[in-house]
Every structure is written in structure tokens, then in C-alpha cells.
Structure 1
Amino acid sequence: MKTKIFKFKNIKTTPDKLRLSVNLVRNKNLANAYDILSLIKNRSANLLVINLKASENSIKDWQVDKDNILIQEIAVDEGLKMKRSLPRSRGRMSPFKRRMSRLTIKLSTNKSGDK
């Protein structure tokens, strides 16, 4: 069984929004994960598909079918927080933080899928 860990930083969505999509595909194979995420009309689901395809592309040398690649672990952590501000009345400013996410994906092959 082969495993590989992928880390994506500075994903421009909040961790809470990304976790909603991540919880649906945990411990699924890649083919099922793509099917589930295609039904969700959500920006975070689209970002997750992009990152899953990038990680799938880097393990092409394994020569394994999508049905045999398992998302063993997937985690979302807080990334950078950019401090920004909005102008308000009477010359005041209202601060807020733009939050970003870090995504960690651990892919592995099933025992039956090894070639």
C-alpha cells in the first residue's frame, strides 16, 4: 500500500466553509469524491476538486485507477489572516480579518489496487 501526503497553503476561503465539503469526502475513493463534490454548488467544493485533481495528477506514476485511490486523511487548518478595514461613518474604520485555509490530503492505494 503506497501513501503520499499533499499540503496546499493559502486557499482563499475560510476553514469553516472548506470543512463542510471536506467532511463529505473523508475516507472515500477519488471517483466517489468527485461524484459527491459535483453535486454541491459551493465555491469550497470547487476548490477541493481542483486540489484533489492536482494531487491525483502527481501520483500518475503509481498507475492505479481512481477507484483504488483512497482519501485516507484530509484536514483543514487555519492559514494566514490578512487584516483589512472598512470605512465607516464620521471617518472611522472598522477592522476585519480575511481568513485563509491550509489543506492536507493523504492519499493511499487499496491493497487490491496495487499493480
Structure 2
Amino acid sequence: FAVSRLLCAPEYPTFEELQYFLKHGSKHLALRKDEAINHIHWATTRRRDVPSLMALACDHRIQLEDVAAKAGADVARIEDFKVLTVKAAARVAAGRAGYGMLLDERYGRDAMFE
């Protein structure tokens, strides 16, 4: 059942999906194409509502490159700045839901692994 999807933990079927499949089957060999099963999966794997979302945008690559150039600083330091930014945001979030960040893939890549 799971191999019809991506094999990641969130893609594994819920109990409700399995019950539906065992009772009704599917006309699709690739279960990911079965709209009814996909709807049950979607409906039974939604996270609770987050009443507010705090997002820190730190994906301003061009602007930070301009600042570095004007300051005569090495652009390689932008990566360090983004790591510090992620650490600070994580401290503020303190494991609570509703916090996130936008990072670019060029200078923010290392920060994503913090």
C-alpha cells in the first residue's frame, strides 16, 4: 500500500484508509491515483489548525549581497548570518507550532540543517 506513494512516513496509510481499501478495494493498481483513497488520506492526516503563523523571511539573497558589497564584507559571511538567524528563530519558537522561516538555497542551505 505504501509503495504506491513516496515511502515516507506521512505517506503511509491511516487506519481509516486501510479500512476503506479492505472494504471497497480500488480499480487502480497505483493507489495514489484513487481519488477516494487520496481524499481519506488527506482528511485523516491534517494537522490541527494553527491560529497564527509567524514567519521570518531570510531569503533576501540579492539584498544581503548588496549590503556585503557596500560594507566591503566577504559574501561568504552571509551563510554564517543565516545560521545565526535560524538559531535565533528556533529559540523564539521554542518548539511551539506556528513558526517558520523562508531561506534561499544558496546561502541558507547550511542553516536548514541547524
Q: Same-fold call, TM > 0.5?
A: no
Which structure shows the bigger proportion of residues in strand conformation? Answer: 1
Task: Give the number of the structure whose residues are more often helix, by fraction.
Answer: 2
Higher RCO (CA-CA < 8 Å; seq separation 6+): 1
- Normalised to the residue count of structure 1, the TM-score between the two structures is 0.26
Q: Given the two structures, how large is their TM-score scaled by the length of structure 2?
A: 0.26
Q: Which structure has the larger Rg?
A: 2
